[in-house]
């Protein structure tokens, strides 16, 4: 048994070959043109774990990496074929892909076949390395297989972000949605607006637990990524064939920006000069004023963002925009009248459409949370459907591309069990099996509409995750189940073989152990993973399928 996660399309073991293929000091690396980056990764990661030099060279002891037009035609650019039985082209191991990305995903499978110790940073002992003699043919179901990480509520230092990129790559996930700005912190350096990080990246204290909790952490919290940090993160992701999609949230979730630059807020309604970076959770009433100055300010922000992120998509948020200040503002009401808009919903749509045109003119595409459907959606915009399936269904039926990430199914900040020992329990119970049975494409969609589902992503909001260990606990092991949903061609949810997935997870837990992941054990949280006495917001019952 290969115990691969996510499950590949097909695995064949040939009866005529030895059961395993041995690797050793004579094992070389034969990287054909276009696979040089995969070769660097193999030498650095697998070479470090095994102690094998993987010197350059072809021949019967080689690991051969190459692009294949046949694989590209049959399985697409991210498809791969991995042969470890020594029977193909005079190589011990052949990894061929429809593109360099396909070769890379094949290399990830090769690493899994080597066993959990192949995930360590150095060899544990002198030993022989071998892999089962198999042929694996594989390809992803979805082109967008993502994880959104909120670094605004609790900042994750750069080293932690790089680690998560490695964890995504190990699970064949290829989109990292980087939630960089929110009410509680602005995390990206913008050189023309330095106070965004000088002021907006730090809050004086932090609510400990859910917003109903009486507890506070009185230590200032914050941090940001310099532009060189961002370049490093993007380059690191690129070598792992991961696209980093930045999110700059407008027009709501903007209190940190307004605290840094008060003129961005609704100054005729409140004294914006008195605002600080938000220290509690929930939806802030402080939203951007729809002025020309605000538009020019964020165009400047986005100009620097586009220089840093090559992603086709740029996420502009658009969610949970409280409209009370707009309703109370004489200036905003005059703006609505001037623009001949019906109401505040149409004003938000106008705001989103402006940036859709601005991004389109620069060869990029806008994506936002499903609230951007309210008041009319810009023609080229794509939707992250988070409030359930309905926003994604409406968008897909109207011809818009969609990423399915419904809160009720794949928000990994939601609790993993109903027990009282779950730390700071939030939301519905979403077990490993629940995530494994998540289906991104609603059956009600016609084939034409379903073609607009780019893929799916899991979202991680970090209000109650103070450090990387807490993030690990919420994300794993459920991200492994999500990765299989995103990658593998699974049957209908009720027909999925969760028993087999659990069996394969036994081996996968050992890989996570070797990677130092502080996952939730199958039997429940360890004593140091609990947070007794800290209030959460658990929701009873099964989540609605909306």
Rounded-to-integer distance, Cα 88 and Cα 95, Å: 10
264-282 burial by CB neighbour count: b if 16+ within 10 A, else e?
A: bbbbebbebeebebbbebe
Backbone angles phi, psi at 266, to 5 degrees: -90, 85
Q: Which residues partner with 365 through β-bridges?
A: 313
Cα Rg, the chain, nearest whole Å:
24
Q: Answer yes or no: 182 catalytic.
A: yes
DSSP label of 461: -
Contact, 322 vs 266, CB < 8 A?
Answer: no
Residue 480 DSSP SS3 = helix
The alpha carbon dihedral of 461, 465, 466, 469 has a sign of negative
Catalytic residue among 45, 137, 138, 182: 182
Rounded-to-integer distance, Cα 192 and Cα 422, Å: 44
Q: What are the angstrom distances between the C-alpha of 109 and each of 61, 83, 106, 121, 522? A: 19, 11, 5, 18, 24
Residue written as tokens 């087999």? 500
Catalytic residue among 130, 232, 239, 320: 320
Residue written as tokens 């042929």? 135
Residue written as tokens 């979403």? 430
Rounded-to-integer distance, Cα 409 and Cα 406, Å: 6
Catalytic residue among 253, 315, 452, 518: 253
DSSP label of 447: H
Rounded-to-integer distance, Cα 98 and Cα 81, Å: 9
The alpha carbon dihedral of 250, 251, 252, 254 has a sign of positive
Rounded-to-integer distance, Cα 368 and Cα 405, Å: 12
Contact, 66 vs 80, CB < 8 A?
Answer: no
Q: Answer yes or no: 218 catalytic.
A: no
Rounded-to-integer distance, Cα 527 and Cα 530, Å: 6
Q: Answer yes or no: 320 catalytic.
A: yes
Catalytic residue IDs: 182, 253, 320
């Amino acid at each position: 048994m290969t115990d691969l996660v996510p499950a590949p399309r097909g695995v064949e073991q040939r009866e005529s070959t030895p059961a395993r293929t041995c690797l050793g000091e004579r094992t070389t690396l034969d990287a054909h043109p276009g696979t040089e980056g995969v070769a660097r990764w193999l030498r650095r990661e697998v070479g470090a774990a095994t102690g094998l030099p993987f010197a350059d060279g072809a021949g019967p002891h080689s690991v051969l990496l190459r692009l294949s037009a046949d694989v590209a035609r049959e399985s697409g650019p991210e498809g791969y074929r991995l042969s470890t039985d020594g029977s193909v082209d005079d190589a011990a191991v052949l990894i061929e892909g429809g593109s360099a990305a396909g070769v890379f995903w094949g290399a990830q499978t090769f690493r899994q076949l080597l066993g959990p110790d192949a995930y360590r940073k150095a060899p544990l002992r002198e030993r022989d390395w071998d892999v089962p003699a198999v042929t694996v043919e594989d390809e992803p179901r979805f082109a967008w297989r993502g994880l959104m990480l909120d670094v605004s509520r609790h900042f994750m230092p750069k080293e932690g972000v790089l680690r998560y990129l490695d964890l995504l790559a190990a699970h064949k996930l290829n989109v990292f949605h980087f939630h960089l700005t929110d009410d509680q912190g602005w995390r990206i350096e913008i050189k023309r607006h330095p106070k965004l990080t000088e002021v907006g990246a730090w809050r004086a204290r932090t609510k400990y637990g859910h917003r109903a909790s009486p507890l506070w952490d009185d230590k200032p919290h914050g941090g940001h990524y310099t532009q060189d940090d961002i370049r490093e993160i993007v380059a690191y992701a690129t070598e792992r064939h991961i696209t980093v999609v930045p999110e700059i949230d407008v027009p709501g979730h903007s209190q940190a920006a307004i605290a840094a630059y008060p003129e961005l807020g609704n100054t005729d309604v409140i004294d914006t000069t008195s605002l600080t970076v938000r220290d509690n959770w929930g939806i802030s009433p402080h939203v951007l004023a729809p002025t020309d100055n605000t538009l020019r300010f964020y165009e400047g922000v986005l100009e620097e963002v586009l220089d840093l992120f090559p992603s086709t998509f740029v996420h502009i948020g658009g969610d949970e925009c409280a409209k009370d200040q707009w309703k109370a503002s004489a200036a905003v009401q005059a703006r609505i009248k001037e623009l001949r808009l019906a109401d505040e919903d149409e004003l938000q749509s106008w705001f989103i459409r402006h940036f859709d045109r601005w991004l389109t003119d620069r060869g990029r595409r806008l994506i936002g949370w499903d609230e951007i459907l309210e008041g009319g959606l810009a023609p080229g915009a794509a939707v992250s459907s988070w409030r359930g399936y309905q926003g994604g269904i409406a968008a897909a039926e109207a011809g818009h591309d969609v990423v399915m990430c419904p809160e009720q199914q794949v928000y990994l900040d939601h609790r993993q069990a109903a027990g009282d020992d779950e730390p700071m329990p939030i939301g519905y119970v979403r077990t490993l099996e629940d995530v494994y049975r998540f289906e991104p494409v609603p059956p009600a969609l016609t084939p034409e509409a379903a073609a607009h589902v780019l893929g799916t992503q899991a979202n991680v909001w970090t209000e109650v995750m103070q450090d990387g260990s807490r993030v690990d606990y919420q994300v794993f092991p459920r991200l492994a189940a999500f990765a299989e949903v995103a990658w593998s061609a699974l049957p209908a949810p009720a027909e999925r073989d969760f028993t087999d997935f659990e069996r394969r997870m036994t081996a996968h837990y050992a890989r996570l152990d070797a990677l130092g992941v502080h996952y939730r054990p199958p039997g429940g949280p360890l004593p140091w993973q609990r947070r007794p006495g800290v209030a959460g917001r658990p929701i009873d019952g099964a989540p609605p399928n909306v």
